[in-house]
Amino acid sequence: MRRRCITAMLALALIAIMAYSFMQLWAIDSETQAEKDRRRQVLEKKPDQAQPGEDPLAALRAQNPDIVGWITVPYTGIDYPVVQAQDNDYYLRRDLNGDYALAGTVFMDYRSPKDASDYGILYGHNMKSGSMFGTLGRFEDREFFDAHSEGRILLEDGWHDIAFFAFLVVPHNDAVIYGQPRSPDFLDYVVRQAKHTRPSFPSANDRLIALSTCAYVYEGARMVLIGRIV
């Protein structure tokens, strides 16, 4: 009798574990599909070139006044609006409408100038599905880094090209990479710390933009791709 009870309890426990695992997988699949739907809808509103004197972000800001730009990196799937809040927590798990979203929204550091006049930092989750900044790790491969040097960013004054020049893996609390405004020795530090760089390095007065996401090489690691706004 006792053996039967133990067997029955184990069977029930196994069923409960399987049911829980199924629910978790279902939730992940549902959220992944929801993220695809959200992205498809927002891509339909991607701004084109604006006429002189027009705000290229006006239509998007009608949906959300926190929108400050749009970031595009070819061959990665990175093609998203950028928001900026009063802190770096609000959009971690919120979409453009302020609703819960596991993937969050690409956002600019709250301390960065909206026009990236000096140095702007963009954050996005490293999603397993490859959404948000989930493909930023491709730049860790030297061949990919060498072959893909360009991106585009939309700011209040229109679209700009980005010339990516460095890829790094740094701690999440790196005071130089995540400092605002950037330190006088920023570029020297990047040269010392970078895994990959390009010969065409920016000057001290160039506008810079950094894309940052989680890396899993050690606790608290972050991947960072830095470019010059042309």
Q: What per-residue confidence (pLDDT) applies to 10?
A: 57
Beta bridge partners of 155: 158
Instruction: Give percent of the chain with pLDDT exceeding 70.
Output: 84
Residues sharing a CB contact under 8 Å with residue 37, sequence separation 6 or more, in sequence order: none
Residue 21 has pLDDT above 60, yes or no: no
Identify whether the C-beta of residue 50 lies closer than 8 Å to the C-beta of residue 156: no
Whether 112 maps to a domain, the answer reads: yes
pLDDT at 197: 96
In a domain, 47, yes or no: no
| pLDDT tens-place string over residues 25-42 | 444 456 677 788 878 888
The whole-number pLDDT of residue 44 equals 86
β-partners of residue 167 are 196, 225
Please state the length of the chain: 230
Per-residue pLDDT tens digits for 102-139: 999 999 999 999 999 999 999 999 999 999 999 999 99
Residue 213's CATH number: 2.40.260.10
Range of the domain at 224: 58-229
Q: Strand 150-155 vs strand 67-73: parallel, antiparallel, or unpaired?
A: antiparallel
- Total tally of structural domains belonging to the chain: 1
In a domain, residue 5? The reply is no
pLDDT-based confidence at 156, cuts 50/70/90? confident
SS3 for the chain is CHHHHHHHHHHHHHHHHHHHHHHHHHHHHHHHHHHHHHHHHHHCCCCCCCCCCCCCCHHHHHHCCCEEEEEEECCCCEEEEEECCCCCCCCCCECCCCCECCCCCCEECCCCCCCCCCEEEEECCECCCCCECCCHHHHHCHHHHHHCCEEEEEECCEEEEEEEEEEEEEECCCCCCCCCCCCCCHHHHHHHHCCEECCCCCCCCCCEEEEEEECCCCCCEEEEEEEEEC
CA distance 71 to 214: 18
Chain mean pLDDT for the chain: 88
Return all residues near 165 (Cβ < 8 A) that are at least 6 apart.
149, 197, 198, 200, 201, 202, 226, 227, 228
* Sign of the alpha-carbon torsion through 172, 177, 178, 179: positive
Instruction: Please tell me the predicted confidence (pLDDT) of residue 49.
Output: 65
124 falls within a domain: yes
Confidence check: pLDDT of 70 > 90: yes
Evaluate whether residue 211 is within a structural domain.
yes
**Is residue 186 a part of any domain in this protein?**
yes
**Rg of the Cα trace of the chain?**
21
Per-residue pLDDT of 176-226, as tens digits, reads 999 999 999 999 999 999 999 998 889 889 999 999 999 999 999 999 999
